[in-house]
Amino acid sequence: MINPRVFVSRKIFPEALELLSQVAEVDVWPDELPPNPQELGNKIANADGLLTTIMDRIDASILDRAPRLKVISQLAVGLDNVDVEEASRRGILVGFTPGILSKATADVGFALLLSAARRIGESERWVRAGGWEMSFHPMYWLGAEVNGATLGIVGLGQIGLEMAKRGLGFDMRVIYHSRTRKPELEEKYGLEYVPPQELLSESDFVSLHIPLTPETRHFISEPELRMMKPTAILINLARGPVVDPKALYTALSEKWIQAAALDVTDPEPIPPDDPLLTLDNLVITPHIGSASVSTRREMCMVAARNLAAGIRGEKMEHCANPEIYPSKGL
């Protein structure tokens, strides 16, 4: 019998590859840059399983190249790069890694919030450029107070809730808007549900935690930025296209809002000559929300276990399309 084959589209933790090698022949993409669609198609032509990251676009055209594919395992919680419906139509299971990364991602969210509020990146650049000439000045480098301010969470999923908890630790008032209202969380944590307009106009910090879908593309654009306070700070560590980058540039340069902090951009990576990078009131990190050693290791392990389960014909730990289990006798 031929061994199952899996293609892993990026180098991952060796222990995760070791786990996969117990169920299949493993082919790992060796380069730092991801395979292009043509290369990916070649690699999965005979594959039974595929481990993907958010940089691999998995749509009908790529799936046409992979007639044997039974399982896709995404090394992320976000699935906007994977056409899950198309995979389901073809009877392909899709795994993902929810939950595991919520705390690490919210840590970066709060680091961005603090950094933008207290102008950490901007003042650090000033020190390195030789600008620090006197020890202290009562009027230098004034920033926004975080303690006691209002934090508006857009999308109260697992990461949004972790962000809210961090805000509560700083004695913030936490308001939220989410597709579904969560009365039990409101009661447990003292969160207030508000309509989107109220969230935008009342928050000192607006933090985005919504998935990217056709409906949420440019969720924050000119009208929303104009609704925010001139002292407000926007934080995005969801997906870049949730914010309209041109509108954000105008809002930051014309000071409709105070500052923004982004861990995700549109496009991603952001080109070095993007006008946003000229702004001092922007804090930016390169999509590092989940990048703590233990979280990334655990994400790799879960992705490997999801893939191995799919190859073995078993249920996964985290499946994005469990509705197709019955068609597979599971």
Can you give the binding site for ligand DGY, defined by CB under 6 A? 54, 76-78, 101, 289-290
> Least CB distance from residue 230 to ligand DGY, whole Å?
30
> Least CB distance from residue 301 to ligand DGY, whole Å?
14
By beta-carbon proximity to ligand DGY, the closer residue of 289 and 310 is 289
Residue in the block written with tokens 């595991």: 100
| 318 among known catalytic residues | no
Round to whole Å and give the CA distance between 69 and 213.
Answer: 25
User: In angstroms, what CA-CA distances link 8 with 210, 257, 300, 317?
Assistant: 27, 42, 11, 19
Cβ neighbors of 249 (< 8 A, separation 6 or more) are: 275, 276, 279
Residue in the block written with tokens 């090394």: 75
By beta-carbon proximity to ligand DGY, the closer residue of 190 and 267 is 267
**Maximum distance among all Cα pairs of the chain, rounded to whole angstroms:** 76
Round to whole Å and give the CA distance between 203 and 234.
Answer: 10
Strand partners, 5: 25
| 239 among known catalytic residues | yes
Round to whole Å and give the CA distance between 69 and 106.
Answer: 34
User: Judging by DSSP bridges, how do beta strands 173-177 and 93-95 pair with one another?
Assistant: unpaired
> Least CB distance from residue 305 to ligand DGY, whole Å?
16
Exposure of 314 by Cβ count < 10 A (0-12 exposed, 13-18 middle, 19+ buried)? exposed
The DSSP secondary-structure symbol of 319 reads: B
Q: Which of 5, 10, 119, 287 is catalytic?
A: 287
> Least CB distance from residue 79 to ligand DGY, whole Å?
8
Q: Which of 217, 268, 297, 317 is catalytic?
A: 268
| 268 among known catalytic residues | yes
Q: At 298, which amino acid appears?
A: E
Cis peptide before 267 (omega within 30 of 0): yes
By beta-carbon proximity to ligand DGY, the closer residue of 9 and 290 is 290
Q: Which of 177, 239, 305, 318 is catalytic?
A: 239
3-state secondary structure of 311: helix
> Least CB distance from residue 53 to ligand DGY, whole Å?
8
By beta-carbon proximity to ligand DGY, the closer residue of 152 and 240 is 240
By beta-carbon proximity to ligand DGY, the closer residue of 77 and 225 is 77
Give the side-chain half-sphere CA count within 13 A for 95.
Answer: 29
By beta-carbon proximity to ligand DGY, the closer residue of 281 and 295 is 295
Euclidean distance between the first and final Cα of the chain, in Å?
A: 23
> Least CB distance from residue 252 to ligand DGY, whole Å?
23
**Residues annotated as part of the active site:** 239, 268, 287
